[in-house]
Structure 1
Amino acid sequence: MRIIAGSFRGKQIAPPKNFNARPTTDVAKEGLFNILTNYFSFEEVKVLDLFSGSGSISYEFASRGCLDVDLVEMNPIHYAFIAKTIKDLGFNQIHPVKHNAFQFLKFCKKKYDLIFADPPYDIDGIDQIPTLTFENDLLADGGWLIVEHSGSFDFSGMPNYRESRLYGKVHFSIFEK
């Protein structure tokens, strides 16, 4: 796994052997960030990274100049790896939270310009991510929620759905406020 662009471009991130996460592929990450670059100025956005796993998406935002990234991961092994990586890279703008992402969406009071969610593909309740995001008014006006998921789920009938993008086997469904 590597950081694709920005001040840490090319930096390799190596999770430990006991790591059980599925990081977003480099091809999918590059495609997604090419889209985001056309719509957002990273220096001005507030980002929430849910089900962070390895922290890869947060590192990418920080490397590209984002100054405010909240990251949510509940797995203790993943969280420890993320905290160490943040410290090692000096990413003071990333604020890790060890918590259940669904519960975080229920009590969070902050508004974000971008929310990225990469839950395990087989998780129950994936359709609750957009519902909780919009019910709790977590997006700023014009903000996007991006949910990474397998092809077995279709979000296109849900409120605030904007579009989907496909990179290999990785699907991104985008919602807009």
Structure 2
Amino acid sequence: MKGEVRIIGGQWRGRRLAFHDRPGLRPTPARGRETLFNWLGQSLVGWHCLDLFAGSGALGFEAASRGAAQVVLVEQDRLACVALRANAQRLGAEGVTVRQVQAHEWLETSGTTYDLIFLDPPFDSEEMSRVWSALSTHLRPGGWIYCESSRGMSESDLWREVRCTKVGQARLQLFQRR
């Protein structure tokens, strides 16, 4: 293990998540997570969340810590998944499931819908645009999509940007269906 990130709110506040240093892995900093959960509200009790490109799991575990009933962490990297599973076990995170699969494959094969979908792929990849069009079938009415990227995503006929800010090199955006 090379890195750690601290959970900033909820039942596991102050607990640390360990992760392997992997190419493209860039955990959402505490300031970015604080902004996101200020936008959404501090409690996610009963929510179902999908963390595509989970990496360190910072976003998904933060949601679980704040009461999410179910969090699915989707990550393609084997070592990252080993760390995610170890963190889930150490925290006793019964509602957290880790799936080792590419994000677009998960969206193609899963029929599950969510209240909140986190999108935080490696900045130099094309993965955000690859999964963007498939998200509408996985989002519950009134649900949210959180995007973290270097360039940001644009509004469309389907999606409206509700909130946006910049933290360091990352553009943080919150979307809802129109």
Does the TM-score normalized on the shorter chain lie above 0.5?
A: yes
Q: CA deviation at 1:158?
A: 6.1
* 1:121 corresponds to 2:107: no
Contiguous gaps of at least 5 residues in structure 2:
none
- Checking the alignment, whether the CA contact within 8 Å between 2:47 and 2:67 is kept in structure 1 is no
What are the equivalent positions in structure 2 for 1:31-42 lying under 5 Å apart? 31-37=35-41, 41-42=43-44
Letter paired with 1:156: E
Return closer, same or farther for 1:101/1:128 CA change in 2, 3 Å cut-off: same
Return closer, same or farther for 1:108/1:166 CA change in 2, 3 Å cut-off: same
Q: CA deviation at 1:95?
A: 0.9
Give the alignment's TM-score, normalised by structure 1.
0.89
Q: CA deviation at 1:44?
A: 2.0
Separation (CA, whole Å) in 2 of partners of 1:109 and 1:68: 15
Partner of 2:95: 93
Give the share of equivalent positions with the same residue, in percent: 31
Separation (CA, whole Å) in 1 of partners of 2:131 and 2:165: 18
Give the alignment's TM-score, normalised by structure 2.
0.88
Separation (CA, whole Å) in 2 of partners of 1:128 and 1:19: 21
Partner of 2:154: 155
Letter paired with 2:67: G
What are the equivalent positions in structure 2 for 1:9-158 lying under 5 Å apart? 9-16=13-20, 18-20=21-23, 21-37=25-41, 41-134=43-136, 137-150=137-150, 152-157=151-156
SS of the residue 2:45 aligns to = helix
Return closer, same or farther for 1:64/1:156 CA change in 2, 3 Å cut-off: same
Q: CA deviation at 1:19?
A: 3.6
Separation (CA, whole Å) in 1 of partners of 2:110 and 2:147: 18
Contiguous gaps of at least 5 residues in structure 1:
none
Letter paired with 1:138: H
1:157-176 deviation line (CA, Å, top 9, x unaligned): 46312232322322122221
Q: CA deviation at 1:128?
A: 3.0
Q: CA deviation at 1:154?
A: 4.0
* Count of matched residue positions in the alignment of Structure 1 and Structure 2: 171
Partner of 1:170: 170
Structure holding more strand per residue: 2
